[in-house]
Structure 1
Amino acid sequence: MAAERHRLLPHASGGRRRGRRAGVTALVLTFAIALLLAVLTSSLASRSALSTTLVFLVVGMVAGPLGLGVVDVSSKAAEKAAEIALFAILFTDGQHAPLRVLRRNWGPPTRALLVAMPLTFAIVAALGHWVAGLPWPAALVLGAVLAPTDPVFASALVGREDVPQRVRHMLNIESGLNDGLALPAVLVFVGLAGGTPEEWSTEPWTLVLEVLVGIALGVVIPIAVVSVLRLPGVGAVPSLLPLGPLALALLLYGVCELTHANSFLAAFVAGSTVATIRPTASDSFRRTGELVSEMAKGAALIAFASLLDRELLVDAGIAGLVLAAAVLLVSRPLPVMAVMVGSRLTMKEQLAVAWFGPKGFASVAYAVIVLFSGMQDAGEVFVLVGVTVLFSVVAHSSTDVAVASWLSRDEDKAVERGDMSAEPLGT
């Protein structure tokens, strides 16, 4: 009998290996198909409601539990994919915000972060309690998870040269900072609701320290790397120069993981620091960074799609669908429009900024943290976040071209009149 067991064990182990291999192969093939379709439809996407985001999402849904069921990514893997994609995009976006840009355009983003974001949190929490029926502790967690905007979909406007510069700076600076600032709030409210997130502290002072360490690493590591480059005999050939910031980003991510520093703030601050102290390296990396970010975004969208099974959509119910619509149409636009009164943004620009408060990878990552926290009603919060993010992906990624064209017409007229539309935002 023992000999028989020994003969069977390799076959069982081989079967598990083949199963894992088949799963990885299906995931790679799904990503390859989505990437190829995104490339082939990119010309159409640049002038229509179609977007590469929708391509990745639809392919993921077809391959995932809602369709063929050949791709099944665990929730923890989806969380990690969302974190990495968000880190890559924040690092790339930070290079659009060197210190001189931050100094000139601090006003409206500060209003959005310090006033509009807390108001959004309060409105979402109220919707969670009175519309979705969550108890107040869970509703507060929902508000913290859905309060930040997401740079993944806002970048559709940030990266377009035909969009007024002050709109791009506003969205870039705000979305670059609020994801990192929202994480401590999520963890604090999860702790108050009785949850104990895996690998995360809910102690306020620890969270403050993680924020400060993340900001410090985002400044110190780029300065240290650039200082090494200035040593005699050290330098990079032009063909490899774009890999320098990429290596720096990977190093920063690893150090943040080891020290439990706030990696989202570290990424944006590091990108800004590189653009400030080494503009040539930043310029050479920008195109590479955009491509890396696009691929990371695609992988994360496929992972997110694998979480969208039929039960998720059914469990949300009518109340969940109403909440998702209200989060996009009310909780972000009203506070932003209120705090932008008196700013130099035109009414069109205010409406565009108010609409582009998408919910994306940060909310997915935070929702998975909640799901594994042991908090009461964690499952309900996860379902509501999933439906809201799905709504946001479709709504924001399909309107970016139209909004950009709408804004660019005014920009063209301003240039013809000689107006200084690229002037700093001020206060």
Structure 2
Amino acid sequence: MEDIAVKLAFIGAAGILAQWLAWRLRLPAIVLLLAAGFLAGPVTGFLVPAEDFGKVYQPAVGLAVAIILFEGGLTLNFHEIRETSKAVRRIVLVGGPLTWFGTALAGHFVGGFEWPVAIILGAILVVTGPTVIMPLLRTARLKSRPGSLLRWEAIVNDPIGALFAVISFEIFMVFHGDHHAEGVAVAILLGFAFAIGAGLAAAQLLIWAFIRGHVPEFLKAPVLVAAVLAVFAVSNVFLEESGLLAVTIMGIRMANSRMASLGELRRFKETITVLLVSGLFILLTAALEWPVIRSLDWRAAGFVFALLFVIRPVAIALATIGTGLSWQERVLTAWIAPRGIVAVAVASLFGGLLGKWGTDDGQRMVAFTFAVVVSTILLHGFTLSPLARILGLRTTGKPGILIVGGSRWAAALAAKLKEMEVPVTIADANWNHLVDARQAGLDTHYGDPLSEHAHHHLNIERFNALIAATDNDAYNALVCTDFGPELGRNNVYEIGGQREQSDRQAMHFTIGGRQLFKPGLDFRELRERRSSGWTFQSTRLTEEFGREAYIASRDPEARTILWRKPDGKLVFETASGGAKIQEGDIVLSFAPPRQADTPEGRKRKRAEANGKDES
């Protein structure tokens, strides 16, 4: 019992460590997770999942995959698919069967599998793995349309590929005389219908209960997890693996509801998913055995090559004809199709079942699936960002700033940031507040940044920081609180008076954001200072004009806001942690007018000029 506890703790710690290292080193997290599982399993023998966890192993993997797919469904809002709906439908309905057919041919003629096994393998590899796509999209910074296309395909294809495998296996059983064709057809139809109905009904019941207040806030997330597991298990009773379809539909339906607490639930599910994805990849990789690994030969290499360089490109090329996608988007989609946990889990399930029915190719099928998973993770993981950059499908790599509030002060700040080549957008729900920004040619967003419309059209992934600068301090704090989980608590800033309160009176940092100025300046003070001639000034530090010279030359009342490093990174003064400006940095400050530019200064200058003329 203690050994199992140690191994479970190891899986959790190793998974999160791999995720953290991937973040620090800017590597695909899945690559490090695979390495951790391989070291813990086949190399050292520390983990042998089938023996360590016994009969619980496979059901636990299935339940974890169900939660992952449900969370993926929660990210699919129909507003996002308007531009790509036709392409997604074609890729799923046309590209999926083409991939199934082509992979089955390759499995038989290249891989050397018997036809039943080749057909099942082709169905399994229809999936394109949201557990791999999501982390890749998080770091690739694709434009909205190709990113939405890859995300929708991955999540919708996963349960469909699993169900294709179920159908293939049931047909295999019919040919072996263990099932009647009529009974199988009826069971499959009923299973499909029940999965769709159960997913929609469960989602509708939860939406109704949450909106009407029948479930308290602290119970919403636990109730959601319990409902997902229940729907998955009950659907699988009617048809094996149909639960994956049910929970995906359940997630999509809830994502397109108007639940006020959906954002909090989605973030909670994301946290669980990171833990589950990390643990599952380590577990499934550790389950590999050396005989299975050694069975990989030139046939496996040829099969992987055919799938990646022939079958997938041809299927996507045919499926996306007349969909309105650019040739760059079609090329990216044709190449990026990594397989993940669902493919491995389903292959492991049917590999074991085929072995029980006397088919020797069951374990080879698992090995081939792993070969595809590892190859696609490595190849697609390391090439997505460079390929997207070459094809012009990445958003700008420069860190952007979202300013909430369209005052004249905010417009002047945005204009100076644009002059410093920092991408900036001003958002405001009042059209009249955006007049100055629009006249200055600045990027603007008309609408409340907290609205559902902004969630789908503002594209928050473009920004690395936010400045809440409206005349309402409470709203500024609310904006920072809402965007904090998206951008990071250290990257949301608000204007407002200095919070010099006791610990008992002070608000926790999770409410609101960092102060933009220290000591703080509220909206009225900023407006008055701008009216009196204060301006935004940017200064580049050089070898001749260094930090000491800059500090000596600036007005003592000037407030430094941030500085831009030579590599484009932005460092805010109030979050610098003691870091100092250096040579090559461009410093942005809000400063009073120089003495010569004030009315008194201009008067003195004229008097001096008149004195010189008289002399």
TM-score for the superposition, normalised by structure 2:
0.57
Q: Which amino acid aligns with 1:71?
A: L
Pick closer, same or farther for the CA change 1:278–1:160 going to 2, 3 Å. farther
Code of the residue aligned with 1:31 in structure 2: it is G
Measured in 2, the distance between the counterparts of 1:161 and 1:246 equals: 30
> Structure 1 length normalisation: TM-score?
0.80
**SS where residue 323 of structure 2 aligns?**
coil
CA RMSD, aligned part only?
3.3
Give the aligned partner of residue 377 of structure 2: 393
Instruction: Summarize deviations over 1:272-319 as a string: whole Å, max 9, x none.
Output: 111222343322222222221111111111111122232222112111
Is contact 2:143-2:393 (8 Å) kept? no
Correspondent of 1:59 among 16, 28, 36: 36
Tell me, yes or no, if the aligned pair for 2:210 and 2:220 is still in contact at 8 Å: no
Query: Comparing 107-116 with 131-140, which one deviates more in the overlay?
Result: 131-140
Q: 1:124 corresponds to which residue?
A: 103
Kindly report which structure 2 residues correspond to 1:147-166, keeping only aligned pairs within 5 A, or say none: 147-159=126-138, 162-166=141-145
How far does the alpha carbon of each residue in 1:146-188 deviate from its partner, in whole angstroms, 9 at most, with x for none?
Answer: 1222211122355569322222322222222222222332123
Mapping 1:304-343, distance limit 5 Å = 304-343=284-323
Q: Larger relative CO (CA 8 A, sep 6+): 1 or 2?
A: 1
Unaligned runs of 5+ in 2: 398-422, 425-440, 444-455, 459-615
> 1:88-107, aligned counterparts within 5 Å?
88-101=67-80, 105-107=84-86
What code does the residue aligned with 2:170 have? G
Matches within 5 A, 1:27-66: 27-45=8-26, 50-64=27-41, 66=42
- Equivalence for 2:271: 291
Q: How far is 1:220 from its partner?
A: 0.8
Give yes or no for contact 1:243–1:285 (8 Å, CA) kept in 2. Answer: no
SS of equivalent to 1:193: helix
For residues 295 and 346 of structure 1, what CA distance do their matches in structure 2 show? 36
Q: Output one character per residue of 1:71-97: Cα deviation in whole Å (capped at 9) or x when no partner.
A: 001197664454334322221221222
Partner of 1:26: 7
Alignment deviations for residues 167-211 of structure 1 (CA, whole Å, 9 cap, x no partner): 232222222222222233212322333488x9xx99232122222
- How far apart are the structure 2 equivalents of 1:351 and 1:422? 25
Residue 132 of structure 1 aligns to a residue whose secondary structure is coil
1:23–1:370: structure 2 CA closer, same or farther, 3 Å change rule?
Answer: same
Distance in 2 between the 1:132 and 1:23 partners? 37
Instruction: Look up the equivalent residue of 1:292 and give its one-letter code.
Output: I
- What is the percentage of aligned positions where both structures have the same residue? 21
The answer to whether structure 1 residue 185 and structure 2 residue 164 are counterparts is: yes
Q: CA deviation at 1:103?
A: 5.9
Q: Which residue of 2 aligns with 1:115?
A: 94
Match of 1:354 among 317, 328, 334: 334
Residue 115 to residue 44, structure 1, CA distance change in 2 (3 Å): same
Counterpart amino acid of residue 323 in structure 2: S
Aligned residues: 391
In the aligned structure 2, how far is the partner of 1:166 from the partner of 1:281?
Answer: 26
**2:188 aligned residue (203, 207, 229):** 207
Task: Confirm or deny: 8 A CA contact 1:155 1:172 kept in the other structure.
Answer: yes
Secondary structure, aligned partner of 1:333:
helix
For the pair shown, the structure with the greater C-alpha radius of gyration is 2
Structure with a larger share of its residues in helix: 1
CA contact (8 A) 1:153 1:393 kept: yes
In structure 2, distance between residues paired with 1:298 and 1:60: 10
Structure ranking higher in strand proportion? 2
Quote how far apart the aligned CAs of 1:260 are.
Answer: 4.5
Instruction: Tell me if 1:383 matches 2:360.
Output: no
Change (3 A) 1:325 1:313: farther
Counterpart-to-counterpart distance in 2, 1:326 and 1:80: 33
Cα distance in 1, alignment partners of residues 236 and 104 from structure 2: 30
Does structure 1 retain, via aligned residues, the 8 Å contact 2:150–2:333?
Answer: yes
CA distance in 2, matches of 1:149, 1:248: 26
Unaligned runs of 5+ in 1: 1-19
Q: Which amino acid aligns with 1:140?
A: I
Partner of 1:275: 255
